[in-house]
């Protein structure tokens, strides 16, 4: 598909709709066709100058290509257009995390999740930063909120179990690990952590 020709052709009415062009850009970005994605986002921004979506998309592809400064500019433009963009806050959080500004990343991930508790990128980013900082209570809350909406997500369940274990909430960690193994009996990490915790509990009981 010649995206440039399609985008520039005034006879292609469907390519003059913001939603179509924006979604096409997201599709190209998801498969790594960044130049086509960029052209779509530029066209989408021209069609709807006040929409944050094209700038969020641009920020994502700039970040994927290692252009951190350009990504930050794009995310900040998105936030000027829409201060409630969860994805833009998550993008700035990822940049802060990559550049070692963990406290700033933590706050930006929290803001992203306050706006959209279903943002898995922000949730897992907050998990990583929390482990680096040793701060668990807030990410535990958002992991629980997410699991209320997605109760069978074993990846998130394991993150929550690991944090509970590190935070001294051993009983809840064990319950989560057993739930994971009932859903995925071959989940090696969950099995190993459960064995470790059961061994720890047995040792404590012997003392």
Q: Is the dihedral of CA 128, 134, 136, 139 positive or negative?
A: negative
pLDDT tens sequence across 106-144: 999 999 999 999 999 999 999 999 988 888 888 999 999
Rounded CA gap, 126 and 90, in Å? 9
Mean pLDDT throughout 89-93?
97
Residue 33 above 60 pLDDT? yes
Rounded CA gap, 166 and 130, in Å? 11
Q: Is the dihedral of CA 189, 192, 198, 203 positive or negative?
A: negative
- pLDDT confidence of residue 183: 95
For the CA atoms of the chain, what is the radius of gyration?
A: 21
pLDDT tens sequence across 175-190: 999 999 999 999 999 9
**Do 162 and 193 meet the contact criterion of CB atoms below 8 Å apart?**
yes
pLDDT tier, 30 (very low <50, low <70, confident <90, very high otherwise): very high
- pLDDT confidence of residue 207: 57
Structure tokens at 132: 């680096």
**In what helix (H) or strand (E) does residue 66 lie, and over which residues does it extend?**
none
Cα distances (Å, whole numbers) of residue 139 to 41, 93, 97, 194: 33, 14, 16, 21
Rounded CA gap, 188 and 56, in Å? 36
pTM: 0.81
pLDDT tens sequence across 146-178: 999 999 999 999 999 999 998 889 999 999 999
The beta strand positions in 13-127, using DSSP E, are none
């Amino acid at each position: 598909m010649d995206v440039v020709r399609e985008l520039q052709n005034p006879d292609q009415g469907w390519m003059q709709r913001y939603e179509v062009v924006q979604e096409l850009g997201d599709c190209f970005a998801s498969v790594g066709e960044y130049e086509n994605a960029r052209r779509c986002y530029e066209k989408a921004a021209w069609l709807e100058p006040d929409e944050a979506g094209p700038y969020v998309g641009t920020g994502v592809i700039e970040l994927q290509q290692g252009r951190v400064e350009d990504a930050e500019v794009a995310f900040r433009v998105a936030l000027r257009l829409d201060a409630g963009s969860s994805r833009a806050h998550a993008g700035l959080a990822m940049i802060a995390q990559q550049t070692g500004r963990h406290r700033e990343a933590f706050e930006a991930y929290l803001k992203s999740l306050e706006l959209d508790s279903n943002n898995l990128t922000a949730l897992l980013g907050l998990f990583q930063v929390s482990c680096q900082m040793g701060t668990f209570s807030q990410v535990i809350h958002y992991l629980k909120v997410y699991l209320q909406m997605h109760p069978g997500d074993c990846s998130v369940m394991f993150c929550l179990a690991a944090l509970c274990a590190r935070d001294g909430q051993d009983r809840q960690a064990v319950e989560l690990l057993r739930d994971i193994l009932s859903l995925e009996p071959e989940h090696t990490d969950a099995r190993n952590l459960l064995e470790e915790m059961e061994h720890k509990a047995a040792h404590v009981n012997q003392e």
